[in-house]
Amino acid sequence: DIQMTQSPSSLSASVGDRVTIACRANQNIRNYLSWYQQKPGKAPKLLIFAASSLQSGVPSRFSGSGSGTDFTLTISSLQPEDFATYYCQQSYSTFRTFGQGTKVEIK
Amino acid sequence: EVLLVESGGGLVQPGGSLRLSCAASGFNISNNYMSWVRQTPGKGLEWVSVIYTGGTTYYGDSVRGRFSISRDNSKNTVYLQMGSLRADDTAVYYCARGQGPAFDYWGQGNLVTVSS
């Protein structure tokens, strides 16, 4: 299986901060990378697909970049509703795998 | 509006069986691949299974041989038949719609607890 590793596992940030979350695959997955946001007790929500394409309805402060093995999710100006856990997920393989998650907490 | 509503979860003894259902509305499941993803309490997400539009199915290593995914297009519903259940199958199970490379809609989640 393709292993996905996110860093950091958690971070503390303030409203208005620029936040960057990294995701690394253990093999080349081209741009088959998605990002999800999950809030407690809720289902994950798709933010970014194909590494950098913004899902309809998602605020433009979210952006994704990268290809191959290294990817990044950036929140340009953190808002109160953005405090959540973020997951990357590869779809290069039929056997989809997720990163372990990055929890974004209030500083 | 696209909606996915799961049902069928609950408490089951180790070694038992359970069938989860995922009723879709707002689209035809015959036009999308559908997956099940689970999340153990306080932990991350684990992909479980997929059924493609042509009927091909795949499973994660931890459930292969014990779980079976299927769909009934006439009822617009996807199922996950779970057997030989173990304590480590305890999780919230989500169904998700596949669109291109991602899961664009998710159900609300259904808790399955395996315990004696």
The string of pLDDT tens digits covering residues A8-55 is 999 999 999 999 999 999 999 999 999 999 999 999 999 999 999 999
Contact: B58, A95; criterion CB under 8 Å = yes
The residue type found at A26 is: N
User: Given the DSSP bridges, would you call strands B110-114 and B10-12 parallel, antiparallel or unpaired?
Assistant: parallel
Contact: A43, B35; criterion CB under 8 Å = no
Whole-number pLDDT of residue B41: 76
B55 in the Ramachandran plot: left (φ > 0), alpha (ψ -120 to 50) or beta?
left
Contact: B101, A55; criterion CB under 8 Å = no
Instruction: Give the residue from B52, B46, B104 showing the smallest Cα distance to B78.
Output: B52
Q: What is the DSSP letter of A77?
A: S
Q: pLDDT digit of tens for each residue in chain B (116 aa)? A: 999 999 999 999 999 999 999 999 999 999 999 999 999 977 789 999 999 999 999 999 999 999 999 999 999 999 999 999 999 999 999 999 999 999 999 999 999 999 99
Q: Give the separation between CA B82 and CA B60, rounded to whole angstroms.
A: 13
Nearest to A43 among B35, B50, B94 (CB): B94
